[in-house]
Amino acid sequence: QSLKPEDRFRIVTFSNNAKDLTGGFQSATPENVRAAVERVGRLRTEGGTDLYSGIHLGLKELNADRATSIVLVTDGVANQGIIAPQEFHKLLKQYDVRVFGFLMGNSANWPLMRTICAATGGFYAGVSNDDDIIGQLMLAKSKITHECLHDATLKVGGVKILDETDDFIGKVYRGQQLVIFGRYENPGSATVTLKAKLTGTDKTYTTTFNFPEIDTDNPEVERLFGLSRIEMIEDQENAGLVPQSEVKDAIQALGVQYQLVTDHTSMVLLSDESFAQRGIERRNKARVTEERRAQAVRSAQPVKSYQVDQAAPMFQHNAPSLAPNGGGGGGGALDPVSVLMVLGLGGLAAAARKARSTRNP
């Protein structure tokens, strides 16, 4: 409802098949928006989840005269029609669109959503039963209607970096946080530089800070690093860039090293006696002990700021705001835009249940 009248929107739903709820793109006038909201309110869950058909239908009738973005909301795995991630990647690479995905529920297919969003330069987020789905959609709208940084890369000088999860970032949207994992060999002062383009203009953001020799505050970061490497390998497989035979071995090695449950590794509950009889190394016990020790230390101390660029801030603007006159950095507004919502009926039902529980505690 916060779109401008000159913007356009379209709503596609999918279950066993896909349907165009609005009959094509509509101008975002108050009357058209109100009518679309009423139609969505009358929808009910049905059948399975043919996600591919929903996206395929949504990609029809795109216009080259304006930026088009897809907001994808679903709560389930793709279990009807085409389900191979490589086919989603191949389809979306043909179009100049961005997909902003929202996954609801515990059965959602995270690797597939990552593949969909990575293929288009978009982003994804999980939405739990306690989250505000409308607020999340407003955040997506803010990203859609403002120019993003593109061709973004991050470089670290002065310290040797290994195993970065994503040195070529691509697009950075308004309000988006960048999370990049890696390892470094030697401590010392490092210069971190983010380079990108904004409306064709080169932008460079730089800061300098110290990489410590030892930091035991947050040992959980090691597992997060391992998980990020696994996700990167899965994404490469889903895009058809890495053979499945290599993927299995790599994920197994990371799962065992960092004690993570994956599609190729599991955890089995054994007694202390069974561990001793079988001579199994207690890797997970050692990690959990260290993580709990660090948690106890943190809980007994005041909250610590981990911002390392306070002396020389990398960015000069405040964080973006959703308020009409809110400040913050980033590009200017895109005008006009087209917004396509692709909605899984299961996801709509979950959102409706959330709304009803909020109104009727």
Per-residue pLDDT tens over the stretch 97-149: 889 888 887 777 888 998 999 898 888 888 776 666 777 777 777 777 788 88
Indicate the CATH number for domain 8-147+336-359.
Answer: 3.40.50.410
Choice among 28-32, 64-68, 102-106, 346-350 with the minimum mean pLDDT:
346-350
Calpha distance 150→122 (Å, rounded): 11
pLDDT averaged over the chain? Answer: 84
Residue bearing the bigger pLDDT, 350 or 36: 36
**Mean pLDDT throughout 146-174?**
86
What residue ranges do the domains of the chain occupy? 8-147+336-359, 149-211, 233-296
**Mean pLDDT throughout 235-245?**
88
* Contact partners, residue 51, CB within 8 Å, separation at least 6: 14, 74, 78, 81, 83, 88, 112, 344
Please give the pLDDT value at position 301.
94
Choice among 58-67, 132-141, 278-287, 303-312 with the minimum mean pLDDT:
132-141
Question: Apex CA 142: angle with CA 170 and CA 4, to 5°?
Answer: 125
Please give the pLDDT value at position 128.
73
Residue bearing the bigger pLDDT, 195 or 44: 195
Strand ranges (DSSP E) for 105-187?
123-127, 149-157, 161-162, 168-172, 183-184
- For the stretch 306-332, pLDDT in tens is 999 888 888 877 665 555 544 454 454
Per the structure block, which two tokens stand in for 265?
Answer: 């590794």
Answer for the pair 102, 73: CB distance below 8 angstroms, yes or no: yes
Please give the pLDDT value at position 149.
87
